[in-house]
């Protein structure tokens, strides 16, 4: 495989604010994204960052330091969250940053008690006007290629949609008005999002995504894997890797084009299944998937952020 030139990413802002001296932003909105009958709670939370020097690019993350102390009486450590807005923010004025946060909730393995995650609960319950300590931004793994003709394959589970929402806004929404926000990035490539969620009401940003698909059918393809409503060919839950297997021939053809970038974000557990599906189709052409993938990583064409 010929190696494509790595993108020029010299001006990527990192660690403008560190944990010892975080930026104190303000919550300007906090909205539920899970519809009636869906599982759990996931919020779209927007912070005002207009008072400082915080800048970021699509695909980066920020750290949040929750209020309070841990079991040892020490201040809580930061947690990372993928940014869900473009560098211009949801209001296109460069004054905000948005996150997409699922409240962690699980049964304690010994006591059976319901446990709620510290930072995700802090964020989920945040009120408009509350202060929030922000660090970062961090991350160079999930940046979009500068090439407006690139093919961009996005594989997400749950809140893994966050960076892809930012990508899609940058590709399609920000240039749609009278005054394009990204005159140097007039996306004319192919974007394909394969999105795994448990139930239909859990399709985060459903209206936005489907509106984009209707408006840009030649440039944006949207495929869902709704695990608890759809079945895979073996009769089990439909996961994203089953969709990858279903479209393996098409994906493999696309992936072999040098201007194709693949991004994976969300649950770590999906990676093995995706490799298996693409490994099988690559093997039909006598290609060793692990080696192929290694080369794509070196060429900055295979991007993974799982947690």
Summarize as ranges the residues that interact with ligand A2P (CB under 6 A).
102, 157-159, 196-198, 202, 227-228, 237, 239-241, 267, 269-270, 273
96 touches, from ligand FAD, ligand A2P, none (C-beta below 5 to 8 Å by class): none
Q: CA distances (Å), 20 to each of 23, 129, 132, in order? A: 10, 23, 14
Tokens of 22: 């975080």
Catalytic residue among 100, 227, 265, 292: 265
Q: CA distances (Å), 66 to each of 31, 43, 132, 187, 249, in order? A: 19, 16, 8, 37, 45
Q: Which is nearer to ligand FAD, 145 or 163 (CB)?
A: 163
Work out whether 79 is an interface residue with ligand FAD (CB under 6 A).
Answer: yes
Q: CA distances (Å), 255 to each of 136, 190, 213, 268, in order? A: 32, 12, 21, 21
**Is the separation of the CB atoms in 175 and 181 below 8 Å?**
yes
Distance CA 241, CA 76 (A): 35
Catalytic site includes residue 216: no
Burial class of residue 127, CB neighbours in 10 A (0-12, 13-18, 19+): exposed
Distance CA 54, CA 62 (A): 10
Q: How far is the CB of 150 from ligand FAD (least distance, A)?
A: 23
Work out whether 31 is an interface residue with ligand FAD (CB under 6 A).
Answer: no
Residue 15, classed as helix, strand or coil, is coil
b/e 34-69 (16+ beta carbons within 10 angstroms → b): beeebeebbbbbbbbbeeeebebbbbbbbbbbbeee
Q: How far is the CB of 89 from ligand FAD (least distance, A)?
A: 16
Q: Which residues in the 141-170 window bind ligand FAD by CB under 6 A?
A: 159, 162
270 touches, from ligand A2P, ligand FAD, none (C-beta below 5 to 8 Å by class): ligand A2P
Catalytic site includes residue 7: no
Catalytic site includes residue 23: no
Catalytic residue among 82, 85, 98, 227: 82
Residue nearest to ligand A2P (CB): 158
Q: Which is nearer to ligand FAD, 54 or 166 (CB)?
A: 166
Residue nearest to ligand FAD (CB): 117
Q: Which of 196, 41, 62, 47 is nearest to 120 (CA)?
A: 41
267 touches, from ligand FAD, ligand A2P, none (C-beta below 5 to 8 Å by class): ligand A2P
228 touches, from ligand A2P, ligand FAD, none (C-beta below 5 to 8 Å by class): ligand A2P
Catalytic residue among 17, 58, 119, 305: 305
Work out whether 307 is an interface residue with ligand FAD (CB under 6 A).
Answer: yes
Binding piece for ligand FAD, criterion CB under 6 A, among 113-121, 171-179, 242-250, 289-297:
113-121
Catalytic site includes residue 305: yes
The phi and psi torsions of 275 (rounded to 5 degrees) equal -60, -40
Tokens of 65: 């330091």
Catalytic site includes residue 82: yes
One residue of 28, 34, 45, 100 binding ligand FAD per CB under 6 A: 100
Which DSSP string corresponds to 45-62? EEEE-TTS-----TT-EE
Q: How far is the CB of 87 from ligand FAD (least distance, A)?
A: 17
Q: How far is the CB of 33 from ligand A2P (least distance, A)?
A: 10
Active-site residue list:
81-82, 265, 305, 307
**What residues make contact with ligand FAD under the rule CB under 6 A?**
61, 79-82, 100-102, 104, 106, 109, 117-121, 159, 162, 305, 307
């Amino acid at each position: 495989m010929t190696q494509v030139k790595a993108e020029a990413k010299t001006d990527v802002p990192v660690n403008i604010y560190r944990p010892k001296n975080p930026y104190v932003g303000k919550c300007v909105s906090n909205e539920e994204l899970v519809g009636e009958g869906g599982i759990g709670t996931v919020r779209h939370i927007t912070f005002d960052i207009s008072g400082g020097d915080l800048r970021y690019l699509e695909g980066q993350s920020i750290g949040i330091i929750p209020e309070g102390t841990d079991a040892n009486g020490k201040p809580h450590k930061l947690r990372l969250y993928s940014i869900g807005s473009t560098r211009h923010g949801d209001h296109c004025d460069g004054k905000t940053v948005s996150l997409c946060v699922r409240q962690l909730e699980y049964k304690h393995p010994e006591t059976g008690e319901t446990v709620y995650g510290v930072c995700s609960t802090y964020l989920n319950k945040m009120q408009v006007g509350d202060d929030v300590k922000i660090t970062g931004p961090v991350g160079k793994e999930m940046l979009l290629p500068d090439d407006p003709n690139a093919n961009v394959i996005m594989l997400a589970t749950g809140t893994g949609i966050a960076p892809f929402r930012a990508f899609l806004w940058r590709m399609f929404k920000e240039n749609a008005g009278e005054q394009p926000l990204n005159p140097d990035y007039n996306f004319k490539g192919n974007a394909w999002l394969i999105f795994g969620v448990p139930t239909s009401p859990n399709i985060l940003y459903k209206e936005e995504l489907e509106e984009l698909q209707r408006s840009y059918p030649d440039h944006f393809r949207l495929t869902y894997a709704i695990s608890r409503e759809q079945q895979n060919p073996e009769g089990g839950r439909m996961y994203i890797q089953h969709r990858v297997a279903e479209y393996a021939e098409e994906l493999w053809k696309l992936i072999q084009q040098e201007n194709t970038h693949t991004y994976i974000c969300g649950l770590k557990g999906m990676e093995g299944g995706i490799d298996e599906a693409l490994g099988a189709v690559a093997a039909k052409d006598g290609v060793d998937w692990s080696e192929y993938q290694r080369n794509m990583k070196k060429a900055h064409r295979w991007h993974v952020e799982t947690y």
